[in-house]
């Protein structure tokens, strides 16, 4: 048994606690016996009074005629007549029963019997006696029980009890240590059996059986949250592994088709397809670039968070896509806030997010229309006035490699990258059909989605109500 094991630690802690408790009791008993003998005397008085009262026998006239006590106490009163005495008296102090030959109730020297005097000392024949008077609580005539103990008897009893207490404490400590050790070992062994079974089951989990889960039956309730959390981690691991496998399979399929087309073009040697070959190479390069971006966005350590102005990032993305918008005869409208708004974000990742949303909007916007990039205190909204998105397709928009009917050969990774970036920052990204067009909304503070009416944005000439002023890029 190792000291750093649960069994060793629990056994060690229990032993130390037992030793400390026993030592405390022993020290307390020694202090009370040695320095507070009156406490022991009062305890003896109370015990004698209880036994004597319970042992009184009364006749038909309700007068005490005998007293029955246990043989041990009876022997003390019979043998030590000068050191341990009891007397049963009436209200006038007349002795009715006594362990000695006393004819009168105990009373201070030169004074009559006083039942109100509960404790006092006498010194007949130089033998100091401690006397206690107790009133019987019963219906009928009032009687009193008096118990007397000599000082010499009390000292002898105290000294004997002290040695007995110390010896008894030592023996009890040793016995209790043995019993506690056995109980702790048996308990730990019993508790560890289901834990060992769970450990064995966990060691058998591998990539081939990630669906296996650890059972929580028969486990101590304190370990159930740990096993539940471990099963939750396995769920997330299995889901990530499944997504990775699907991603690899889909990527292989996506790259296989253009490679086969390019191979056929090269084998045929038809120079008229040179333009198509270059287009396929560009499409593949773009797809590989987006795959790299998606891989980078999936790793939290790739993000460098800093104070970032999303309006400046959006302006940079608009400037880079201005030529694409001109080629498609699409205007880009945006607004500016009254004062700069800084957020904690990775500037490069935010640039990719806004650029992908803006590029997606430009590619779906009909010629002669505009795309709106609007800022407010909660986030960024990108809207186009194109054909929009079917309600049945909205849940699939952010899936990897998903393409709409008018995808025009695009990879289907741009919006998936946007979602990955938003999730890494703790943001919310959503899409809604705007009729016409579609609206993508990124909420920075996670406060929730805006109402549907907020998606019905105004033309560029009426944008001043949303921000400070509107700017149109053409």
Q: How confident is the model at residue 6 (pLDDT cuts 50, 70, 90)?
A: low
Residues 198 and 240 occupy one common structural domain: no
Residues 401 and 422 occupy one common structural domain: yes
Residue 198 lies in a domain: yes
State the pLDDT at residue 161.
53
**Domain span holding position 133:** 1-204
State the pLDDT at residue 456.
33
- Residue 197, pLDDT > 70, answer yes
Residues 327 and 355 occupy one common structural domain: yes
State the pLDDT at residue 474.
38
Range in 103-107, 145-149, 353-357, 468-472 the model is least confident about: 468-472
Q: Which of 236, 271, 297 is the last residue of a domain?
A: 297
Residues 438 and 393 occupy one common structural domain: yes
Residues 39 and 85 occupy one common structural domain: yes
Per-chain mean pLDDT for the chain: 79
Residues 28 and 135 occupy one common structural domain: yes
Beta-sheet strands, E only, within 24-90: 56-58, 64-67, 84-90
Residue 402 lies in a domain: yes
Average pLDDT over residues 411-433: 87
Residues 314 and 425 occupy one common structural domain: yes
State the pLDDT at residue 457.
34
- Residue 55, pLDDT > 50, answer yes
- Residue 274, pLDDT > 70, answer no
Number of helices (H), then strands (E), in the chain: 10, 15
Residues 327 and 291 occupy one common structural domain: no
- Residue 46, C-beta contacts closer than 8 angstroms, at least 6 positions apart: none
Residue 217 lies in a domain: no
Q: Which of 297, 328, 360 is the last residue of a domain?
A: 297
Distance CA 187, CA 79 (A): 52
- Residue 406, pLDDT > 70, answer no
SS3 246: helix
SS3 146: strand
Distance CA 384, CA 99 (A): 113
Kindly report the CATH number assigned to the domain that includes residue 395: 3.30.565.10
Residue 218 lies in a domain: no
> Which of the two residues, 65 and 251, has the higher pLDDT score?
65
Total tally of structural domains belonging to the chain = 3
- Residue 144, pLDDT > 70, answer yes
Residue 436 lies in a domain: yes
Residues 71 and 180 occupy one common structural domain: yes
Tell me the pLDDT tens digit for each residue of 330-350: 999 988 777 788 899 989 889
Residues 292 and 200 occupy one common structural domain: no
Residue 171 lies in a domain: yes
- Residue 418, pLDDT > 50, answer yes
Residues 111 and 137 occupy one common structural domain: yes
Nearest to residue 389, comparing CAs of 443, 343, 455?
A: 455
Average pLDDT over residues 210-229: 82
State the pLDDT at residue 181.
76
Residue 212 lies in a domain: no
State the pLDDT at residue 383.
93
Q: Which of 297, 319, 346 is the last residue of a domain?
A: 297
pTM of the shown model: 0.47
Residue 215 lies in a domain: no
Residues 258 and 115 occupy one common structural domain: no
């Amino acid at each position: 048994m190792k000291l750093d094991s649960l069994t060793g630690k629990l056994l060690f802690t229990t032993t130390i606690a037992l030793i400390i408790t026993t030592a405390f009791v022993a020290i307390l008993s020694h202090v009370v016996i040695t320095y507070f003998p009156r406490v022991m005397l009062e305890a003896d008085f109370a015990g004698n009074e209880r036994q004597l009262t319970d042992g009184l026998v009364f006749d038909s006239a309700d007068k005490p005629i005998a007293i029955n006590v246990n043989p041990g106490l009876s022997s003390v009163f019979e043998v030590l007549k000068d050191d341990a005495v009891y007397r049963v008296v009436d209200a006038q102090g007349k002795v009715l029963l006594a362990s000695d030959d006393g004819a009168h109730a105990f009373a201070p020297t030169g004074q009559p019997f006083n039942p109100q005097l509960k404790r006092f000392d006498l010194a007949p024949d130089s033998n100091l006696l401690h006397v206690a008077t107790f009133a019987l609580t019963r219906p009928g005539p009032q009687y009193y029980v008096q118990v007397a103990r000599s000082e010499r008897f009390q000292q002898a009893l105290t000294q004997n009890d002290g040695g007995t207490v110390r010896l008894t404490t030592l023996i009890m400590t040793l016995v209790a240590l043995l019993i506690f050790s056995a109980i702790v070992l048996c308990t730990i062994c019993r508790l560890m059996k289901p834990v060992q079974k769970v450990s064995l089951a966990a060691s058998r989990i591998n990539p081939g059986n990630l669906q296996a889960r650890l059972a929580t039956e028969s486990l101590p309730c304190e370990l159930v949250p740990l096993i539940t959390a471990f099963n939750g981690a396995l769920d997330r691991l299995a889901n990530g592994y499944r997504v990775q496998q699907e991603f690899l399979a889909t990527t292989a399929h996506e790259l296989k088709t253009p490679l086969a087309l390019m191979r056929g073009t090269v084998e045929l040697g038809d120079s008229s397809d040179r333009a198509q070959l270059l287009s396929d190479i560009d499409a593949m390069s773009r797809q590989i670039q987006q795959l790299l971006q998606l891989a980078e966005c999936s790793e939290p350590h790739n993000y460098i968070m800093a104070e970032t102005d999303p309006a400046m990032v959006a302006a940079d993305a608009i400037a880079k896509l201005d030529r694409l918008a001109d080629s498609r005869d699409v205007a880009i409208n945006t607004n500016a806030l009254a004062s700069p708004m800084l957020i904690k974000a990775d500037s490069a990742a935010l640039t990719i997010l806004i650029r992908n949303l803006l590029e997606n909007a430009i590619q779906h916007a009909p010629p002669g229309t505009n795309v709106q990039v609007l800022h407010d205190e909660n986030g960024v909204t990108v809207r186009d006035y194109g054909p929009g998105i079917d309600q049945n397709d909205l849940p699939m928009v952010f899936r990897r490699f998903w393409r709409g009917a008018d995808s025009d050969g695009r990879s289907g990774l741009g919006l998936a990258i946007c979602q990955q970036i938003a999730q890494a920052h703790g943001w919310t990204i959503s899409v809604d059909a705007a009729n016409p067009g579609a609206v993508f909304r990124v909420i920075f503070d996670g406060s929730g989605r805006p109402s549907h009416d907020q998606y019905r944005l105004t033309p560029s000439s009426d944008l001043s109500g949303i921000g400070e002023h509107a700017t149109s890029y053409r």
